[in-house]
Amino acid sequence: MAETPNVVPYVDMPIQHASDRMLATMGRRTTRAHIEQRLAAIRSAMPDVVLRSTFIVGFPGEREQDFAELMDFIEHTPLDQVGCFTYSDEDGTTAAKMPSKVDEALITERHQAFMELQAGLHQQRLARWQDRELEVLVDEQLDFGRYACRHFGQASEVDNLTLVDTELAEVGSRIPVRITGTEDYDLLAVPVS
């Protein structure tokens, strides 16, 4: 990827958990150390890479210690876009037949704790874009003069947006912008002439 000019430096790696015990229970065939080594290698090869991942809380057998390891991982592993899902049984899956189900109230509590921590971390990661000039794709007009756009590290329908206030944009076009700040999970930008 790093040597291919027409491939954007964006990696979606569904890690799912960071506890070795839970990774084994989920059948992931990896360890936290291996995941950390892989992420370090990706960052070394592509320093500007955008990393996206997803996690599951409340998988059968998840103990407090497992959840604490997951929280430690997301706190110390810079990820740009993160999704977190609550476990629920799916008919026909191995997990649906597993014992040691986690109580739904505890799953909800863990999900909220994860998302609260991630919200603050996301703001820290957004700061790396401040004052950078990027080319964005204009996706749609939101209001008169405000457009939802995406740069190379923002996948359609799953990631945050770059919001641009301008009258010069045309949906489907690419425009150069400078990042000026943030609004919730999104970046704010102005066109660059």
Q: Is residue 2 part of a domain?
A: no
The pLDDT of residue 168 is 72
Q: What average pLDDT does the structure give for the chain?
A: 94
User: For residue 114, how far is the Cα from the chain centroid?
Assistant: 13
109 by Cβ neighbours in 10 Å (0-12 / 13-18 / 19+) ranks as middle
The better pLDDT of the pair 143, 4 is held by: 4
Q: What is the mean pLDDT of the segment spanning 1-21?
A: 94
Q: Is 174 helix (H, G, I), strand (E, B) or coil?
A: strand
Whether 84 and 135 map to the same domain: the answer is: no
* pLDDT tens figures, 96-115: 999 999 999 999 999 999 99
Please answer whether residues 163 and 142 qualify as being in contact, where contact means their C-beta atoms are separated by less than 8 angstroms. Answer: yes
The pLDDT of residue 170 is 87
- C-alpha distances in Å from residue 181, one per residue of 46, 123, 124, 140, 177: 24, 10, 12, 20, 12
The pLDDT of residue 82 is 94
The pLDDT of residue 157 is 87
Q: Which residue segment(s) compose the domain that 108 sits in?
A: 10-128
93 by Cβ neighbours in 10 Å (0-12 / 13-18 / 19+) ranks as exposed
Enumerate residues 6+ apart whose C-beta is below 8 A from 72.
18
Whether 142 and 166 map to the same domain: the answer is: yes
The pLDDT of residue 169 is 75
pLDDT > 90? residue 164 = yes
Whether 20 and 87 map to the same domain: the answer is: yes
Q: Is 38 helix (H, G, I), strand (E, B) or coil?
A: helix
The pTM assigned to this predicted structure is: 0.89
Whether 106 and 154 map to the same domain: the answer is: no
The pLDDT of residue 184 is 87
Q: Which of 128, 146, 161 marks a domain boundary?
A: 128
The better pLDDT of the pair 157, 176 is held by: 176
pLDDT > 90? residue 145 = no
- Quick one: what percent of the chain has pLDDT higher than 90? 91
pLDDT > 80? residue 32 = yes
Whether 136 and 96 map to the same domain: the answer is: no
Whether 33 and 107 map to the same domain: the answer is: yes
In the chain, the number of structural domains is: 2
